[in-house]
Structure 1
C-alpha cells in the first residue's frame, strides 16, 4: 500500500508526519493508493483540490488536536493501514468557474466547497446574474456572492445566513454577501445542474475577484459557474467519523 502524506506546517502535524512516514513510507501523490492529510479542514480541502485532477484518488484526513476538522478522522498512528482498508468512501462534487478577466485573459478554477465572488476595494460590487441563461437578469449590488455545494453549505455560506443543504443532495446554494440591492434579496437554492452566468458591471471601477481554496483570480469581467461534469473527489471516513454526519453524506462508492 502506497501512501502520500500531506501535513499542516504546525508542529503537531509535522511531528505526526515524521512518525507516520517513517512507519508507512512516503509515496509521491501521483503514485499513491491513498492521500492522507494531517491537520484540519484547510489541509484536507487543499489535498482534495489537488486530488481532483487525479481520478479516483481517495483522501483520508486526520485532525490534530489544535485544528478544526469537520472533514477529518481522529489522528492515530498505529493502525492506519487497517483504517484505510475499512474506510467508507463518499464521492463529492467539484465546482468549476470559467473566468474572463478585464484584460481579456481566460482562466478556469475549481472549488470543492464553494466559489466566492467578492469586491476587491471599498466600492460595492455590481453584478448582472443569470441562471441557466433564462428569464430576467438579476442586478445585484453588494459585497459579492457565494456558490456552495452541500459540503460547503456548513461553513462560510452558513455564516452568511445561507441554507444548510442536505449532504448528498443534488443541490447548490447561491448566497449573498452584504447585498444592498435588491432589498428583498434572499439566498437561492439551485439544482446542481444549474449554470450561473455573472457579468461584472463597470468592472474597471468596481473590481471583483473570484476566490476558492485553490486560488484567487482578480479583476473579473465575467464568469460562468457550474458543477464540473467530469471532476469529483473521494473522501474517506472510518466508522467513528461517519457516525457524526448521519445519512446521507455524499454518495457512497
Structure 2
C-alpha cells in the first residue's frame, strides 16, 4: 500500500443511463472544480460545463478516475482505460458494490478526505487471454471458457507449469484473487486475500472429479475439443473454435484502487461474512 499523490485532474465514468450515477457525477465535478482541480467526463458520458475525453486519453490527462455505479462500471473502466491510473470506485446505482470504497451515504465527506491526500493505493493483478496474435481485453476478476453447445461436453486440456491436464467438463474459470469472490466462489472455489499473487483454476462440472487449483502466476494454455465461448469479467464474450489454444498470462499493468479504509478481507466483508 502506497500513500496517494496530489490530484490535479480527475476523469469520471458512470453506469450507463443511470440518473442517480449521473447526478453524483455532476456533484463530484462541482466539488473538484471548487478546489481548483480539473474534471473530465470519459466518453460517452457528458456533463454540463465539463470537457469530454476519449478513454484512450485518460492516462495522459488525469491523475485519478472516479468510477460511479456498481462493480460492472469499475470492471469496465479498468478494461477500457490503459495503464495504471488509480481509480476510486463509488457505489451509486449498483448492488453490493464489492469493489467499491465509497457509497452515497458518505460520498461527499470521503471524497473531500481523498482530495486532502488521506488515501492510499491498493494494487491488484490482472490477467489477459490471447488467441494467436489476438489479445483480448484484460480481466480483473476472471476469464471464463465455457462450452458453446449445451448438448455436448468437451474435453478441455490445461497446460501449466510444464504439465498438461485433460478432462471432460463444461468449462473452466481462471480467476485472480480479486475475482475469487465472483464466479469462482459461486462454483465452490476458494476465497483468497485480494493482495496475493496467484491464480485459481476452477473446473465447471467435470465428469471426473477435479479439484480447484491455486497456482503461481505463470502462463496457462487452455484448449477445448469443441467450440467454446470466452467471457472476460462476465461482460465481454468471444467465440473460440474447436482445437484453438487460448494463452492466459499476467497483464503488464496492475490496477490501483484508491482506498481510505484499511481492511483485512475487504471483499468478504462486503459479502456479509
Regarding TM over 0.5, the answer is yes
Match among 147, 154, 163 for residue 174 of structure 2: 147
Counterparts of 1:15-164 in structure 2, within 5 Å, are 15-25=23-33, 26-27=39-40, 28=53, 29-30=58-59, 31-51=61-81, 53-54=82-83, 56-64=84-92, 66-75=94-103, 76-77=107-108, 80-84=111-115, 85-100=117-132, 106-109=133-136, 110-122=138-150, 123-132=152-161, 134-135=162-163, 137-164=164-191
Q: 1:198 aligns with which of 201, 215, 222?
A: 222
| Structure 1 or 2: more strand by fraction | 1
TM-superposition CA deviations, 1:111-160 (whole Å, max 9, x none): 1111111112212232122113x23x321212110111111001110111
TM-score, with length taken from structure 1: 0.82
Aligned: 1:170 with 2:187: no
- CA RMSD between the two structures: 2.0
1:185 aligns to what?
A: 210
Q: What is the TM-score when the length of structure 2 is the normalising length?
A: 0.76
Can you give the 5+ residue segments of structure 1 that lack an aligned partner in the other structure? 101-105, 247-253
**Residues 204-219 of structure 1 mapped to structure 2, 5 A cutoff:** 206-213=226-233, 215-219=236-240
Cα pair 1:5 1:38 within 8 Å, conserved: yes
What SS class does the counterpart of residue 77 from structure 1 fall into?
helix
Runs of 5+ unmatched residues, structure 2: 1-7, 34-38, 41-52, 267-273
